[in-house]
Amino acid sequence: MTSVWNRTWTSKEGTTIVASLLDVRGSQIILRHKNKELKIPISNLSQKDRILVDEFQIKHSPPGKMDFSITRIWTNDAGQTMEATIHNASKSSVEVRKSDGKVFRYKINDLSANDQAYVKKFLLQKNSLSDDQILKRLTMYKWRDTPWGSWEFRL
């Protein structure tokens, strides 16, 4: 794989720029070009560069920092691609939603290694609780007087 940090980036239209990748924030990448920071929507990049950014984000971002609502390129084991967002997933399958609203289900093993890693990150994020969710659940706990006179913490 070509170095992500300093490379030639290509847009959908074919225009190029030599720049260094600084960060991925939501639906944008931050590039440094001639000591200037440029914010470029990921959707404006070529398919190859979008996949490269996706690989970078999967390797270097914790699940809580990834935006799973972004349309990305999914690749099956036969090399066919589809632009869609993740809709839902389990350990064995994933549902993706195209921009026209159609939902497709794939077996995890039928997807590229990069897509499998993305689904794993999604499941980690889905199964972890945010600080707000933890606080909400803590407030659901109540003290209850038990028949034998001791106090016990109940959900």
Per-residue pLDDT of the chain (155 residues; tens, 9 = 90+): 344 578 999 999 999 999 999 888 888 999 999 999 999 999 999 999 999 998 888 888 887 778 888 899 999 988 899 999 999 999 999 999 999 999 999 999 999 999 999 999 999 888 765 666 566 655 555 444 445 555 555 54
Half-sphere exposure at residue 77, Cβ-oriented, CA atoms within 13 angstroms: 8
Token readout for 102 is 């159609």
Dihedral sign of CA atoms 12, 52, 70, 107 in order: positive
Closest residue by Cα to residue 68 from 54, 48, 81: 54
Query: Looking at the whole model, is its pTM more than 0.85?
Result: no
Crossing angle for the helix pair 47-60 and 113-127, to the nearest 10 degrees? 50
